[in-house]
A and B are shown apart, each in its own frame.
Chain A
Amino acid sequence: MYEHLETAENPEGLRRVVIDPVTRVEGHGKVTLLLDEEHRVRQARLHIVEFRGFERFIQGRPYWELPVLVQRLCGICPVSHHLAAGKAIDQIAGVDRLTPTAEKLRRLMHFGQVLQSHALHFFHLATPDLLFGFDSEADRRNIFGVLEAYPDVGLEGIRMRKYGQEVIRAVSGKRIHGSACIPGGMNKALTVAERDELAQGIDPVIGWCRNALALVRKLYLANRAYHERFAYIRSNFLSLIGEGGALELYHGGLRAKDEHGRILFDRVDDRSYTDLMREEVRSWSYMKFPYLVSLGKEKGWYRVGPLARINNCDFIPTPLAEEARREFLATLGGGEPVHGSLAFHWARMIEALHCAEAIRELLQDADLLGAELVLRGERRLEGIGVIEAPRGTLIHHYRVNEEDLVVRANLIVSTTHNNQAMNESIRQVAAEYLDGRDLTEGLLNRIEVAVRAYDPCLSCATHALGKMPLVLELRDCRGALVDVIARHGDGSIEAGRRSVAGG
């Protein structure tokens, strides 16, 4: 829809504005805008320093080390990488289906992970924009502003996150370095005491999730026309799908729908993902652009994540979340998938509620306390693990040799799946709100709001003090540096970003 803004015809004569870093996303991303002398947007691109070198980091290591190894790739979603690698090495160990206890422990851990991740994104990174408005004072538009103005909302968000972390800790035994997944199963059983402690805390969590869902619904509908139009793009959607079309986060077949909601493929074995999708390389980006083979490069890009999952599934197998899904689609969908990018926030809270409900169900399941944790099978040379991580479909693909060492690794993370969609979203915002206007901090924040909706994780997980100096540069149409604003590793900022106005 906005492809014409991907590459300007004569970039050398244009003014370049850089939003660097894009704030309230994980890792380092930047947006570049090229403007002509009338302030018309001629080009808009999101650049991401992707996970580089991961595959090399993994190659040559014994396959059974993978779940522990890969969780260190990312400090934001270590459990997602841990589980995807765990599923892959099950196959290398010749196990296609775990024992009921092992599978339910993994599901429990995954629900905890998605719950805490969604809580962080919604309360910490998204609500400042939604509660205060995109143009509100920049120094108020943050988690502290939320905590001050809405202390109960803020505290519930923190407690939801804390509970999710406790679920992970109970299953894996540790907050970090957990070794829960091993080839063919799980390393540790859940004790009665651990189960009971989690069970004691789950009912309030469901209440907090319902409050969060009511809040995002209220905020979205309070300015519905604007929110629906904001960063509106139409796309295909990809996700795992469960039995009978159920929402599925841990294991299922791949389903894709087109922009009208028509199914492109359904319940396809995720191990054949290479038949379904390809990754395109573009000269200006470090990150690849995946697309569905059947639709080709131009029309085959798609979105993953909460909005894709809610659009793709036929039902959610927990009652409160299912009720919320129906209402969401009836309100916003009109018989088609919901396409507005800000609807990701609403979909995310439906999933958070589902996770809390699913955790409660699992904690009442006798299988969870079983002792049969590991199965063995006939050794294979390849394993593909696919899960729905909080941000979307996550693929881990490994080949090993006869000595058990990894000889090839391929990881496709959800942020990569959403690369084209995020670029389309910022182009829509640039064309709709920035075109022909003097740039202000509030206008530039709209670009970031569009990116944040996807909750991209660009993390390299290195965060040591002093290691993240971030710089915003403003250059004139001849490329001369006009102004520089720096954010230092200790968080201090030397100048406000408002100075980019005009130019």
Chain B
Amino acid sequence: MGRLLVFGYGNPSRGDDALGPLLVEALRKENLPQDAIEFQCDYQLQVEHALDLVDKAAVLFVDAHARCEGPFRLEPVAPRRDASYTTHAMTPQAVLEAFRTVLRGEPPPCFLLSIRGERFGLGEPVSEVARASLQKALEAAAAWCWRWLGRSVRGQAP
């Protein structure tokens, strides 16, 4: 069984765009079996990140979302050829599509954790709304990890 991958992306100097990397940072400090989880951060997703998914048991992408209803949303993502290739950044769905096209196989189960943010200006601090969302999203991310590690959420932390 491969490791899990938690992949947060966003620009830490763009206000709430920092939510992806911030969640990864916080999740590292949780009482999780760290050797079973790979943590990664980047400014944005790109085609080469398809190679990071190889041999992973499951993947959790984490990003800020300006139009998220509620503090966070956790949903499965499937390969999809969307228009995000038109910039230097890609969506998780497009990265999965790249995986399928290049590696001629199905990617591991992948999920997107969208965290609600509202301010994305250069040099802005993380907003109060985003901080509150982050806390709730962190619980969801930890639960996701436990679920995929084959353990129940409660009572079995090492």
Q: Is the CB of A26 within 8 A of B101?
A: no
With contacts A463-B17, A491-B91 known, is A144 near B97, CB below 8 A?
A: yes
Residue interface bits A467-503, CB-to-B below 8 A is 1, else 0 = 1100000000000000000010111110000000000
CB of B102 within 8 A of CB of A54, answer no
**A175 with B42, Cβ < 8 A, contacts A24-B87, A463-B17, A464-B63 known:** yes
Q: Which residue of B lies closest to A116 (CB)?
A: B48
* A residues in contact with B67, CB < 8 Å: 465-466, 489
Bound: A165/B40 CA distance, A: 13
Q: Which residues of A contact B63 (CB under 8 A)?
A: 464-465
Tally of contact residues, B, Cβ under 8 A? 47
Chain A binder among B5-13, B28-36, B145-153 = B5-13
Chain B residues, CB < 8 A from A157:
47
Q: A57-B123, A492-B82 are in contact. Are A461 and B44 (CB under 8 A)?
A: yes
> Within 8 Å CB of B84, what residues of A?
491
B12 cross-chain contacts in A, Cβ below 8 A = 72, 176-177
Q: What is the 8 Å Cβ interface bit string for chain A, positions 139-166, against chain B (1 contact, 0 not)? A: 0001110011001001101110110010
Contacts A76-B88, A142-B86 hold; do A162 and B48 have CB atoms under 8 A apart? yes
Do the beta carbons of B114 and A124 come within 8 Å of each other?
A: no
Are the C-beta atoms of B13 and A158 separated by less than 8 Å?
Answer: no
Chain B contacts with A in 68-102, Cβ cutoff 8 A:
68, 81-89, 91, 93-94, 97-98, 101-102
Q: When the two chains form the complex, which single residue of B16, B44, B102 contacts A155, counting CB atoms closer than 8 Å?
A: B102
Bound-state Cα–Cα, A364 to B66, Å: 48
Q: Give min CB distance, B150 to chain A, whole Å.
A: 29
Is A78 at the interface (CB under 8 A from chain B)? yes
A-chain residues with CB within 8 Å of residue B89 when the two chains form the complex:
75, 463
Main secondary structure of the interface of A (DSSP, over half): mixed
- Beta-carbon contact of A120 and B88 below 8 Å: yes
Complexed CA–CA distance, A487 and B67 (Å): 15
Q: Decide: A464 and B102 in contact? CB cutoff 8 A.
A: no
Q: How far is the CA of A161 from the CA of B44 in the complex (A)?
A: 14
- Check if A176 sits within 8 Å of B47, measured CB to CB: no
Interface centre among A124, A161, A463 (most CB of B within 10 A): A463
B122 at the interface (CB under 8 A from A): yes
Of A53, A465, A487, which one neighbours B64 at CB under 8 angstroms? Answer: A465
A460 contacts chain B at the CB level, 8 A cutoff: yes
The answer to whether B82 and A490 have CB atoms under 8 Å apart is yes
Closest 6 CB pairs of A and B: A75-B43, A491-B82, A72-B13, A23-B86, A466-B67, A464-B64
- What are 24 A-B contacts with C-beta separation under 8 Å? A53-B123, A57-B13, A57-B123, A69-B13, A72-B12, A75-B44, A120-B46, A125-B88, A142-B85, A143-B47, A144-B98, A162-B48, A162-B51, A165-B48, A176-B41, A177-B21, A177-B41, A462-B14, A462-B120, A463-B10, A465-B64, A491-B84, A492-B83, A493-B83
Given contacts A124-B47, A176-B42, A467-B120, 16 further A-B contacts (CB under 8 A): A75-B88, A78-B43, A142-B81, A148-B101, A177-B21, A460-B122, A461-B14, A461-B17, A463-B43, A463-B89, A464-B63, A465-B68, A465-B91, A465-B114, A489-B67, A491-B91
Interface set of A (CB-CB < 8 Å, partner B): 21, 23-27, 53-54, 56-57, 69, 72-73, 75-76, 78, 120, 124-125, 142-144, 147-148, 151, 154-155, 157-159, 161-162, 165, 175-177, 457, 459-468, 487, 489-493
